[in-house]
Amino acid sequence: MDNAYEPGSSAGASLQTAALRMAQGSSGVWLRAVSRLGLVCRGTVYLLVGYLAFRLAVATHGRTGAPASAAGAVQAATAHAWGRVTLVFLVAGLGAYALTQLIEAVFRPVRAESTIGRWRQRAVSSWGCLLYSALCLSTAWLLVATRRPETAQSEHRQDVDVTAALLRTGWGRLLLVLVGVLAVAAGVEVGRRSVRLDFRERFTAEHMSRALAVITRALGTLGCVARSVVFVLVGVFLLKAVVESDANQTKGLDAIFRWVASSAAGSWLLALLAFGIVCYGLYCLIEARYRDLTPGR
């Protein structure tokens, strides 16, 4: 059945035709604008997370302040006087990126050369859609609800409480194992991309200078290495929590950073990890400028 969606099939040709029609006229202009907004917002979140991780790396003490995570990035972005305006921008951008990932899940697998490649692309794009939809909804909730500012302790406590509740049931344990395995698999996939891609496959390369192309590949490679490490660590600690039946083993993004910082030469290792995350944020901004945003490309 999957062969029906190969590039040369009638279904594959129909999807490509639909993608080209979406890219034309006023609908194409709006679609590209929405996609660029999503990429800019995604890059902004990565830059803020990297900044918070850098700040943690050079801190001399404590578990105070905004956590170095997506929630902490949103909190840092909305801390100033124009916070609600920034929050609206983040909600719109995160929703836009979730929509971009949904469109990719529908159209981009057609261009894959193998069945495995098509299913891998569907899985990656679908995961991105779900992840950024959840982040968009949690950010939107801040617009209508009054909440205490997140701290590293409160965020970790929430992660532990959720894990503990799931560990009490058989289906909850299976869900945790599934999420842990998927996180490790995502880390391996991102690591594979850091080696195999030049990060300009989907760019309008004729508009880029050679120097910028070299910088783009360096930023994408370093960023994907950092993301790969984070994904694998999150998955490993989640699986460890299930094996040991200990919810305290669960570690979210901020807890991962603090675990790295507590190791030998931890400040330097965390600084390198933060540098990689900042690199990926900069890559996302370059991607927003130069990427070919035709659906499925």
Nearest C-alpha neighbor of 47 from the set 283, 288, 277: 277
Instruction: Return the pLDDT at 120.
Output: 77
All residue ranges of the chain with pLDDT < 50 are 1-2, 4-5, 8, 60-63
Instruction: Return the pLDDT at 279.
Output: 95
Instruction: Return the pLDDT at 5.
Output: 47
Token pair for 224: 């994907």
Report the C-alpha gap between 114 and 68 in whole angstroms. Answer: 38
Nearest C-alpha neighbor of 252 from the set 116, 153, 146, 108: 153
Nearest C-alpha neighbor of 261 from the set 62, 112, 17, 8: 62
Instruction: Return the pLDDT at 74.
Output: 61
Report the C-alpha gap between 181 and 239 in whole angstroms. Answer: 8
Report the C-alpha gap between 81 and 42 in whole angstroms. Answer: 22
